[in-house]
Amino acid sequence: MPDPDAMDGFLAGDDFSPPASDRLGVLSATARVMREARLARIDRAAVEALAARWAGAEWPTATATLSALHQPGAPEQAPNWVLLLDALNFCFWGAPDGPRWRVTWRGATHDGYNALAASLSRAVEEGLPLSDAAWLAELDAPTLAGILRPDAGFPPIPLFAERLNNAREAGRILRDRYDGQFVNVVEDADYDAISLALTVEREFSSFADVAAWRGYPVPFLKRAQILVADLRAITGGEGAGAIRGMEGLTAFADYKLPQRLRALGVLVYADELARVVDSYTLIPAGSEPEIEIRAATVWAVEALRRALARHGVARTASELDERLWVESQERLPDERPYHRTRTIYY
């Protein structure tokens, strides 16, 4: 990788200029990281090439598979169901050469996020009251294990204890502060995307995805932001999902997006980071390499959003995130691994 002080071909300096109004704070904080980053950079030419390719083709529509997996029950149950979904939405990977947690529902087998959505939809179909905040607050381990039960011969979902804690917290906060209904959280945020993400971060500790970079807080808020996007998508933008201001959200920094962006040449890792990622070596949560990967992911998507706008294509960062994530579910030839970090935040 070139010297960080002579970054010809890479985004640098003024390229990391957040919008004048950055209420969420993610772009401003991650811009500071990217101006000092030494391990993960963004290739200008690759951003422009991807933007030109996407601008020259029809934008793909939402996948029917995801819609079929989102079955919260009655419409009024959807907000609480989505809160639970994203309280549990993190870290699905297992051993590099081992089988992954997987779930079969209605004749189709899923892993990763899709398996989580299938598990919760299956539980609703089986009559479990997932949208009852009081029930959720007292959820016990055997019941959650039954909800998330894998196919025979496959491992259980990783970080089970952390998921149980998150589920109980979601129910407890709703029961004690919001009359049992997540729609009341949405109303408190005045149906504004940024206000809702920040409210979720403040009220639900498991969503408070804020790292520390050289003494500065760096919010990523991956699950708080994706909760806003999922609520809007799963409700069809109706009722509790009639949320405004989606353009203020950033990319949802996880492990699949940087893998895909790296495969596309948009993200470039320094040799020392590439060796760590490609050898499946664990990267500690909150470490400088992990923060740089996530910050670069946020700004790669923001750079792509701006490049598309120059082509006359107006898309939000969350829409770009969705497309990259969907495409990441299909492996590219010679695709390298995603980084391994055990965390509840993604």
Write the burial class of residue 145 (CB in 10 Å: 0-12 exposed, 13-18 middle, 19+ buried): middle
d(CA 262, CA 297): 9
DSSP annotation of 1: -
pTM check: above 0.85 = yes
Is the distance from CB of 282 to CB of 340 less than 8 angstroms?
yes
Q: How far is CA 10 from CA 66, 194, 299, in A?
A: 35, 30, 12
Looking at the DSSP bridge assignments, the partners of residue 42 are 267
Q: Which residue has the tokens 């995801």?
A: 66
CB atoms inside a 10 Å sphere around CB 177: 13
Parallel, antiparallel, or unpaired for β 210-213 and 216-219?
A: antiparallel
What is residue 192's three-state secondary structure?
strand
Concerning whether 254 is annotated as a catalytic residue, the answer is yes
Rg (CA), the chain: 20
Q: Write phi, then psi, for 224 (nearest 5 degrees).
A: -65, -40
Q: Write phi, then psi, for 143 (nearest 5 degrees).
A: -70, -45
**How far, rounded to the nearest angstrom, does the alpha carbon of residue 100 sit from its chain's CA centroid?**
19
* Active-site position among 15, 43, 254, 321: 254
For residue 113, what are its two tokens? 């996020």
Long-range (24+ apart) CB contacts under 8 A made by 62-65 are: 62/233, 62/322, 63/326, 65/114
pLDDT tens track for 275-286: 999 999 999 999
What counts of helices (H) and strands (E) characterise the chain?
15, 6
Q: How far is CA 151 from CA 92, 104, 106, 115, 156, in A?
A: 15, 7, 13, 10, 9
Angle between helices 160-177 and 78-87 (to 10 degrees): 140
* Amino acid at site 285: A
pLDDT on residue 2? 41
Q: Which residues of the chain have pLDDT under 70?
A: 1-7
Q: Where are the domains of the chain?
A: 1-60+250-346, 70-248
